[in-house]
Amino acid sequence: MRKVLKNEAVQAFIASVICILLGILIGYIVLLFINPAGAGESIVNVIKNFFTWSRPASQMKQLGNTLAKTMPLILCSLSILFSYKVGLFNIGTAGQYVAGACASLYAALAWGWGWLPCVLFAVFAGAFLGTITGLLKAYCNVNEVISGIMLNWISLYLTNTLLTNVKETASPYTLYLDKTNPKALLPTLGLDTLFNKNANVTIAVPITILAAFAVWIILSKTKLGYELKATGNNKNAAKYAGMAQNRNIIMTLAISGALAGLAAALLYLTGYMRWECTQSSVPSMGFNGIAAAFLGGLHPLGAIFSSFFIQHITDGGQYVNTNFYSSQISDVISSVIIYLCGFVLFIKLTMKKILANKEEKKGAK
C-alpha cells in the first residue's frame, strides 16, 4: 500500500480527485446558497449528465454528443500541456482554436473543400497563430500570456468578420454544413451506429486518441521532446548544452497551435455546432483545456480522462433546475477545480511528508 502511494502517478491521481471533490462541494454550496430546495437534485444532475435520461437509447445519443465535444477539449488540453512542459503558458490556445474554426468553416462553406483539406487548413491556421506568439516570445521577449490574450481577441473579431461572408441571411449563424457542402462533414466510420445513429461521433475520436499518444511519445521518447523539456526546465542550461532555444520556443508554440486548430476543425466539421458571427467572447473551449490539462496531471493520457470529466459536467450544467439556477454553475465548478490545481504541488508535498514521517517512526521502532 505504501509503495503504491509513493508512486508519482498515483499521487497525481489522488491530488486530482481531491480537486474534483472540493470543486463539486463548492458548487453544491453555491447552489445551496442560492436556493436550498433543489440544490441536491441539481448537483446530482450535473454529475449524472446523460444518465438523467431514462431510456438507454437516449443516454447513448447524449453520450455521443458529450464525446463529440470531448475530442476538441482533449486536443485543447494537449495543446496547453505540450507548451506547459516547455515552460510556456499558451493561453492563446483559445484564439488558435478560433482560427481553426474560421479556417475550416471558411474552406468548407465558401470554397467547398472536402473534409481532409479543411482539417489540414485549420491545423495550419492554428499553427500560424501559435508561430506568431512564438516569434514574439523568442525574438522580442513578449510575455506569451499577454500576446496570447491579444491574439485571442484579434482572431475572434477577424473570424466574425470573415465568417459573416458565409452566414445565413436571417440569423447570425454560419450556413448549415450538411446542406451547403456535405462532403466537408467528417466521416463517421460507422461509429454513429454505436451511439444511436448520432452522426456527431466521427473519425474525430480515433484522430484525437492518436494525437494524445503522439504527444506522449514525442514528449517522453524522442530527442526533440527531451530538448523541448530541457529548454522548459532551464533555458540557459539548454542553450549551454547547444540546443537551439529560440527554435524550440517557436516550434513548441506552433505545435501547440496546430493541436488547437485541429480541435476546432474536429468539432465544427461534424456540423454539431455552427459559428455565431456576432459572438462577443472567445469560446471557452480553449480555457477549459487549461482545466483539463492540469486536472490530468499534465500527462497526455491523463488529459483524455480529465477532458471527458470536464466536458461531462459542463454538459451536465444544462440539467440543473433552471427555475432557480443557471447552467454556468458547471463553469464555476471547473474554474474552482483549476484554482485548486494550483495547490496540487502542495498536496503532493504533504503526502510525501506524511509518508516520510510514518517511515521514520517505523524505523525508530
Partner 1 sequence: MLLLIQYTLIFASVLLLVALGGCISEHSGVINLGLEGIMVVGALGGALVMSSLGTSSAFVMVLVAMLAAILAGMLYSCLLGVAAIHFKADQTLVGTAMNLLATAAATVFVKAMNTAANPDNHSSEIEYISARKMFIVNINGFEFNWFMLVAVIAVVLVYFLLYKNRLGLRLMACGEHPQAAASVGVSVYKMRWTGVLMSGALGGLGGLCYILAGVSVWKFENGVAGFGFLALAVMIFGQWKPTRIALAALIFGLFRALSNTYTGFPFLVSLNLPGNVYNMMPYIVCLIVLAFTSKASRAPKAEGIPYDKGSR
Q: With contacts defined by CB under 8 A, name the span among 40-48, 54-62, 123-131, 285-293 that binds partner 1.
A: 285-293
Q: CB of residue 153 vs partner 1: minimum separation in angstroms? A: 5
Q: Scanning the structure block, which residue is given the C-alpha cell 514521517?
A: 357
Write the single-letter amino acid at 347. I
Q: Which is nearer to partner 1, 146 or 217 (CB)?
A: 146
Residues 332, 348, 351, 355: which binds partner 1 (CB under 8 A)? 332
Q: CB of residue 209 vs partner 1: minimum separation in angstroms? A: 26
Q: Which is nearer to partner 1, 209 or 332 (CB)?
A: 332
Q: Scanning the structure block, which residue is given the C-alpha cell 458547471?
A: 330
Distance CA(66)–CA(313), nearest Å, equals 10
Q: Tell me the residue length of the chain.
A: 365
Q: CB of residue 297 vs partner 1: minimum separation in angstroms? A: 13
Q: CB of residue 315 vs partner 1: minimum separation in angstroms? A: 15
Q: CB of residue 146 vs partner 1: minimum separation in angstroms? A: 6
Q: CB of residue 324 vs partner 1: minimum separation in angstroms? A: 6
Write the DSSP symbol of residue 323. T
The 73-92 site mask, x for binding partner 1 (CB under 8 A), equals ----------------x-x-
Distance CA(101)–CA(275), nearest Å, equals 8
* Footprint (CB under 8 A) of partner 1, residues 136-165: 136, 140-143, 145-147, 149-154, 157-158, 160-161
The 26-45 site mask, x for binding partner 1 (CB under 8 A), equals ----x---xx----------
Q: Is 322 in the site for partner 1 (CB under 8 A)?
A: yes
Q: Which is nearer to partner 1, 61 or 312 (CB)?
A: 312
> Which residue stretches of the chain are H helix?
2-6, 8-34, 39-48, 56-85, 93-109, 115-140, 144-163, 177-180, 191-194, 204-221, 223-233, 235-240, 245-268, 285-295, 300-316, 329-341, 344-364
Size, binding site for partner 1 by CB under 8 A: 49
Residues 205, 266, 269, 336: which binds partner 1 (CB under 8 A)? 336
Q: Is 113 in the site for partner 1 (CB under 8 A)?
A: no
Provide the sign of the torsion angle of the four alpha carbons 166, 160, 265, 178, taken in this order. negative
Residue 306 CB partners (closer than 8 Å, separation 6+): 16, 77, 291, 292, 293, 295, 296, 297
Q: Which is nearer to partner 1, 186 or 338 (CB)?
A: 338
Distance CA(83)–CA(337), nearest Å, equals 20
Distance CA(198)–CA(188), nearest Å, equals 9
Q: Which is nearer to partner 1, 160 or 248 (CB)?
A: 160
The 300-319 site mask, x for binding partner 1 (CB under 8 A), equals --------------------
Q: CB of residue 83 vs partner 1: minimum separation in angstroms? A: 12
Residue 168 CB partners (closer than 8 Å, separation 6+): 174, 175
Q: Which residue from 293, 314, 318 is spatially nearest to 305, judged by alpha carbons? A: 293
Residue 359 CB partners (closer than 8 Å, separation 6+): 2
Residues 82, 287, 308, 309: which binds partner 1 (CB under 8 A)? 287
Residues at the site binding partner 1, with contacts judged by CB under 8 A = 30, 34-35, 89, 91, 136, 140-143, 145-147, 149-154, 157-158, 160-161, 280-281, 284, 287, 290-291, 294, 322-326, 328-329, 331-332, 334-336, 338-339, 341-343, 345-346
